[in-house]
Amino acid sequence: MRGQLLAGIFVLGWLSAGVAGASELPGKIAAMCVQGQLNALGYPVGTIDGQIGPRSIAAAERYAAESKLETVGALSAATAELWCRALAAHDPKLVAFLDRAEEAAELAGRSYGTADDFRYDIAANVPADEVDVIKRTTAMAETYLMANFGSGIPEAKRKRITIKIVATGKGNQEHGGGGGVATAFAGTKQRPFFDVAHVQWNQNSQGRGWTNEADSMKTVAHEYAHIWQGELGAISGSRQPLPGWVNEGIAEYLGYRVIVDAGLMNWENVRPFVLNGAMQDQLGTPLDKITAWPGHAGFLAIDWLVESSPNGLPALRQLGEAVGEGRSTKAAFYDAFGLELDDFYAQFEAWRPLVVRNPGQAFAIRPKLIMAN
């Protein structure tokens, strides 16, 4: 008991005095920190979503009672940072969670680099944490495109594009928006849109291998990929010469690649998750006959093409530029990937029923594509 009392006095003093160089933690970052700590301690909070709800509060109460930690009061959104710091002081294994939270807070306080070039139309009720997620991911996506393709959205163009952010829960209600959580175009204009109160934003990602925030970041990167496709001339709000599975497959593929590159997802988790999505409503029919949103099947196709094509990842830029220059879809596809579009459809169709019968072996049984040469 004496040791616990001394530990409590130390924690209180450490919290009140502060730590040299420590960053103040924004609410969502602090909440995710303490949620991660409680999970690591064996007091499950459910999904780490940055929201202090009943499960998080109950887990904290149980831990406080069993560990005699009575120095920071009940867990709430207001006390999440105190809890995060107290737990890190109480158990050295939990310091890593605080370190990551402080890194995130420091990043949130910085300028957003290329993302600052865009114009923003942000509704008054949008939480600052969500704006931070969108701006950080926007900068990440631009960095990834420049590093891997040598082209992104030029600065002059960025300064003319508005990113609209709302929190209505109704999605994009504009003409052509379809109520979507996120879209890339408004009519013919590049104009990303995000509804951070939509049910598909901050999806429960439990079991996927990544956080809810990382899932939302993928959504942002997906739309940024569409904007980049538009910059290449391959797509607009009124013109889509490429098949839907190509457009959505590239955006989905690059969306995940951006977040994997940032270390927030693992490719070994991404591919089976996307495959599972494709199994729901897309792999019951040939690739070129899909009538549902084709992003998951498109991801599988683009992943296969990038892996097998002699041009590799740069083939995606080559395809977009060729279409933007007026080449036919079939000619652009052949030049970019090294095989005829119809040949690819045939090879995908040979693989598809094998996947449907044995999805657990889908990637193990996927052969190298037979190229034209």
3-class secondary structure for 32-58? HHHHHHHHHCCCCCCCCCCCCCHHHHH
Which amino acid appears at position 313 of this protein? L
CA distance 41 to 34: 10
| 329 C-beta neighbours (distance < 10 Å), count | 16
What torsion, rounded to 10 degrees, do the Cα atoms 237, 242, 244, 247 define? -70
Residue 10 confidence (pLDDT) above 80: no
Q: Residue 162's beta-bridge partner residues?
A: 119
| 20 C-beta neighbours (distance < 10 Å), count | 5
Question: Two tokens at 46?
Answer: 């459910």
Q: What is the pLDDT of residue 16?
A: 34
Q: Looking at the whole model, is its pTM more than 0.85?
A: no
Q: What is the pLDDT of residue 70?
A: 66
Q: Residue 190's beta-bridge partner residues?
A: 185
Q: What is the pLDDT of residue 23?
A: 56
Percent of the chain residues past pLDDT 90, beyond the cut: 79
Q: What is the pLDDT of residue 15?
A: 38
Question: Two tokens at 148?
Answer: 């891997």
Task: Give buried/exposed letters for 246-283 (b at 16+ CB in 10 A, else e).
Answer: bbbbbbbbbbbbbbbbbebbeeeebbebbbebbbeebb
Which amino acid appears at position 91 of this protein? D
- Please name the helix (run of DSSP H) or strand (run of DSSP E) that holds residue 128, with its range, or none: helix 128-149
Q: What is the pLDDT of residue 5?
A: 29
Q: 100-154 pLDDT, tens per residue?
A: 888 778 766 678 999 999 999 999 888 888 999 999 999 999 999 999 999 999 9
End-to-end Cα, the chain, rounded Å = 76
Record: fold of 114-361: Neutral Protease; domain 2 (1.10.390)
Location of structure tokens 């590159």: 261
Q: What is the pLDDT of residue 68?
A: 78
- pLDDT category at 4 given cuts 50, 70, 90 is very low
Residue 67 confidence (pLDDT) above 50: yes
Q: 278-327 pLDDT, tens per residue?
A: 999 899 999 999 999 999 999 999 999 999 999 999 999 999 999 999 99
CA distances from 185 to 124, 227, 237 (A): 22, 8, 5
Residue 77 confidence (pLDDT) above 70: yes
Residue 201 confidence (pLDDT) above 60: yes
Q: 248-280 pLDDT, tens per residue?
A: 999 999 999 999 999 999 999 999 999 999 999
Q: 89-98 pLDDT, tens per residue?
A: 989 999 999 9
List of residues 6+ apart from 339 with CB closer than 8 A: 309, 369, 370, 371, 372
What torsion, rounded to 10 degrees, do the Cα atoms 340, 345, 351, 352 define? 160
CA distance 53 to 60: 11
Closest C-alpha to 141, from 226, 55, 26, 70: 226
Q: What is the pLDDT of residue 50?
A: 87
**Cβ atoms of 154 and 199 closer than 8 Å:** no
Please give the average per-residue pLDDT across 203-207, as a whole number.
Answer: 92
Q: Residue 121's beta-bridge partner residues?
A: 164
Residue 180 confidence (pLDDT) above 50: yes
- pLDDT category at 20 given cuts 50, 70, 90 is very low
Task: Give buried/exposed letters for 46-70 (b at 16+ CB in 10 A, else e).
Answer: ebbbbbbeebbeebbeebbeeeebe
List of residues 6+ apart from 345 with CB closer than 8 A: 286, 287, 288
Q: What is the pLDDT of residue 249?
A: 98
**Cβ atoms of 183 and 190 closer than 8 Å:** no
Q: What is the pLDDT of residue 373?
A: 76
Residue 7 confidence (pLDDT) above 80: no
CA distance 21 to 211: 27
Sheet holding 119-122, edge to edge: 119-122, 162-166, 189-195, 182-186
Rg of the chain taking only CA atoms, in angstroms = 23
Residue 6 confidence (pLDDT) above 60: no
Helix (H, G, I), strand (E, B) or coil at 166: strand
Please give the average per-residue pLDDT across 325-348, as a whole number.
Answer: 98
- pLDDT category at 1 given cuts 50, 70, 90 is very low
Question: Two tokens at 65?
Answer: 């009672």
- Please name the helix (run of DSSP H) or strand (run of DSSP E) that holds residue 125, with its range, or none: none
Residue 193 confidence (pLDDT) above 50: yes
Q: What is the pLDDT of residue 107?
A: 63
CA distance 264 to 235: 28
Rounded to the nearest integer, the mean pLDDT of the chain is 91
- The CATH 1.10.390.10 portion of the chain extends over 114-361
List of residues 6+ apart from 260 with CB closer than 8 A: 266, 267, 270
